[in-house]
């Protein structure tokens, strides 16, 4: 299928990421943008750009007909959805294909099969992939309560459609289930337009480990090792790394083969991720499949030396996978921190606004995937991600220390960010030792006086350094509200929280 001009139906850092690979491949690109994104970085980078409406995504980036009209107007013969927005919209994929436009993603029927978590559980079970004990059916609240009592608490209540932690509840007893079910249904309905929920047996302090898979149109499949995504806040990933410190070579092979069973079962084509929960004894269970490129694909690219967006385009063209399983190497360790415009001192509330000053890290084995620049706006209408900062090292601790150094170089003015929060995490002993689980951020340890010698030195240096006028304005301290000094907050004053 032709891929000679690509429209990127997305914005921000992922749109910039796709544009870069297309440029390397000699493929012209088309950007779309809403009114507030007129000056966005992805608009400046693309060969062509078209406005598709007002700021709210439902009036611009989510309107399939507008995207299709721009593709026809610009002569784009392929559409890359990035992640989010239309990336897992089967109807959009069908419409694009019906109009002779290649959808750089899986087949629509694969999206449908894996779009419902309950349906995906059935596919996994039939494929012979281990799943968390639970029910595959959606039921009334009364029936769910009866099933939960049979299963035994604690359990997880989950939305049948969608993900990202929406509609998810850990329930410890019957009373919590009675009060939690209506809330979970309401959250699922508002997020996904469907209030269906189901229940699974809760795994205590689980690890979230995922396998990157690829399939082509010729029936070839490979897995590109695993990523550990256990450091989460409110079921949202905060830090990702590859490989996982919990996974042995034997477990890696078993998880990879299990993931490919699921991919083969739905005749999968393109990039996908099969997500698992793992317990302390290295038992693993199917969680869900994301039928798109993941935010955290960067760490997989670091340890494999491959360009996953390029692979997506090659597969969409009908070419075979560039490598077989035995040819894919695992080299070193990679770490990724999601840098957000948010205020950790105010329960991580978004901090939209104009970026008045920006200096990003650089150096060997440092990568910053960003969709902003100095002077650009972080809009209140979209996800407040500033960038994905990733590092590579021969070992896990070297990758962590490289990240800590890179975070120390990051300067953002005009808005608050979570840079200093990440730096504290890089020095948190349980994290450094690899003792990870999805609830490790439930207790706000980062607000304690947990500042290592390097941070102390940096704080002292920052206090006596001669900052230029622009940096001084960007680093004006923000009061904590309680009038008391705090090592974490004090450090943040000099690192643009």
Residue 414 inside a domain? The answer is yes
Q: Cα separations (Å) of 495 from 67, 307, 420, 459? A: 39, 32, 6, 9
116: left (phi over 0), alpha (psi -120 to 50) or beta: beta
Mean pLDDT of the chain: 89
Determine the Cα–Cα distance for residues 339 and 432; give it in Å rounded to an integer: 19
Is 288 in a helix, a strand, or coil? Answer: strand
Q: Examine the residue annotation and report whether 292 is marked as an active-site residue of this protein.
A: yes
Q: Which residue among 292, 367, 404, 496 is the active-site one?
A: 292
Is 406 in a helix, a strand, or coil? Answer: helix
At 208, phi and psi to the nearest 5?
A: -100, 110
Determine the Cα–Cα distance for residues 191 and 158; give it in Å rounded to an integer: 13
Same structural domain, 249 and 334:
yes
Q: Which of 149, 174, 201 is the last residue of a domain?
A: 201
The pLDDT of residue 150 is 86
Q: How many domains does the chain have?
A: 3
Determine the Cα–Cα distance for residues 395 and 250; give it in Å rounded to an integer: 20
Same structural domain, 445 and 361:
yes
Same structural domain, 171 and 228:
no
Determine the Cα–Cα distance for residues 365 and 393; give it in Å rounded to an integer: 7
Q: Which of 144, 166, 201 is the last residue of a domain?
A: 201
Same structural domain, 191 and 223:
no
Q: 193-234 pLDDT, tens per residue?
A: 888 888 888 888 999 999 999 999 999 999 999 999 999 998
Same structural domain, 255 and 371:
yes
Q: Burial code of 256-293, b = ≥16 C-beta within 10 A, e = fewer?
A: bebbbbbbebbebbbbbbbbbbbeeeeebbbbbbbbbb
State the residue range of the domain holding 275.
Answer: 207-493
Q: 422-455 pLDDT, tens per residue?
A: 999 999 999 999 999 999 999 888 875 444 443 4
pLDDT classification of 116: cutoffs 50, 70, 90: confident
Specify the DSSP element, H or E, that contains 369.
Answer: strand 366-370
Residue 109 inside a domain? The answer is no
The pLDDT of residue 166 is 74
Residue 477 inside a domain? The answer is yes
The pLDDT of residue 192 is 80
Q: 290-314 pLDDT, tens per residue?
A: 999 999 999 999 999 999 999 999 9
The residue assigned the tokens 């809009």 is 379
Inter-axis angle of helices 90-98 and 108-115, nearest 10: 170
Specify the DSSP element, H or E, that contains 97.
Answer: helix 90-98
Residue 278 inside a domain? The answer is yes
Choose between 151 and 228: higher pLDDT: 228
Residue 15 tokens read as: 């749109």
Instruction: Output the domain CATH number for residue 169.
Output: 3.30.1490.20
């Amino acid at each position: 299928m032709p891929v000679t001009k690509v429209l990127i139906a997305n914005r921000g850092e992922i749109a910039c990421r796709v544009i870069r690979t297309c440029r390397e491949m000699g493929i012209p690109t088309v950007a779309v943008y809403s009114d507030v994104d007129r000056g966005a970085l992805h608009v400046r980078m693309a060969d062509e750009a078209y406005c598709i409406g007002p700021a709210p995504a439902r009036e611009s980036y989510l309107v399939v007909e507008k995207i299709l009209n721009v593709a026809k107007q610009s002569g784009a013969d392929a559409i890359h959805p990035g992640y989010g927005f239309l990336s897992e919209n089967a109807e959009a994929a069908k419409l694009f294909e019906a109009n002779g436009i290649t959808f750089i993603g899986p087949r629509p029927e694969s999206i449908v099969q894996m779009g419902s978590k309950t349906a995906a559980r059935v596919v996994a079970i039939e494929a012979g992939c281990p799943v968390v004990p639970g029910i595959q059916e959606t039921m009334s609240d009364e029936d769910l309560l009866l099933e939960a009592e049979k299963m035994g608490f604690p359990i997880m209540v989950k939305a049948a459609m969608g993900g990202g932690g929406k509609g998810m509840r850990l329930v410890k007893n019957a009373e919590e289930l009675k009060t939690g079910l209506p809330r979970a249904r309401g959250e699922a309905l508002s997020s996904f337009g469907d209030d269906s929920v189901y229940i699974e047996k809760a795994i205590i302090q689980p690890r979230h480990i995922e396998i990157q898979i690829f399939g082509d149109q010729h029936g070839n499949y490979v897995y590109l090792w695993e990523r550990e995504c256990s450091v989460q806040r409110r079921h949202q990933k905060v830090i990702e790394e590859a490989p996982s410190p919990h996974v042995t070579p034997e477990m890696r092979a078993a998880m990879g083969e299990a993931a490919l069973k699921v991919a083969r079962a739905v005749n999968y084509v393109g990039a996908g991720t099969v997500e698992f929960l793992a317990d302390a004894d290295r038992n693993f269970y199917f969680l869900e499949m994301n039928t798109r490129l993941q935010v955290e694909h960067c760490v997989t690219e670091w340890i494999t030396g491959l360009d996953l967006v390029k692979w997506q385009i090659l597969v969409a063209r009908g070419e075979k996978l560039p490598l077989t399983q035995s040819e894919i190497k695992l080299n070193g360790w990679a770490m990724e921190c999601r840098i957000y415009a948010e205020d950790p001192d105010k329960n991580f509330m978004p901090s939209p606004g104009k970026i008045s000053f920006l200096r990003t890290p650089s150096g060997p084995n440092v990568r910053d995937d960003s969709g902003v620049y100095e002077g650009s706006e972080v809009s209140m209408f979209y996800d407040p991600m500033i960038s994905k900062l990733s590092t590579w090292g021969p070992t896990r601790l070297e990758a962590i220390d490289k990240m800590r150094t890179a975070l120390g170089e990051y300067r953002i003015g005009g808005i608050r960010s979570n840079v200093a929060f990440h730096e504290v995490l890089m020095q948190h002993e349980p994290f450094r030792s690899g003792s990870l689980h999805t609830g490790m951020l439930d207790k706000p340890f980062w607000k304690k006086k947990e500042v290592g010698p390097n941070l102390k030195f940096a704080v002292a240096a920052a206090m006596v350094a001669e900052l230029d006028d622009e940096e001084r304005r960007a680093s004006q301290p923000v009061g904590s509200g309680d009038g008391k000094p705090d090592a974490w907050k004090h450090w943040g004053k000099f690192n643009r929280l």
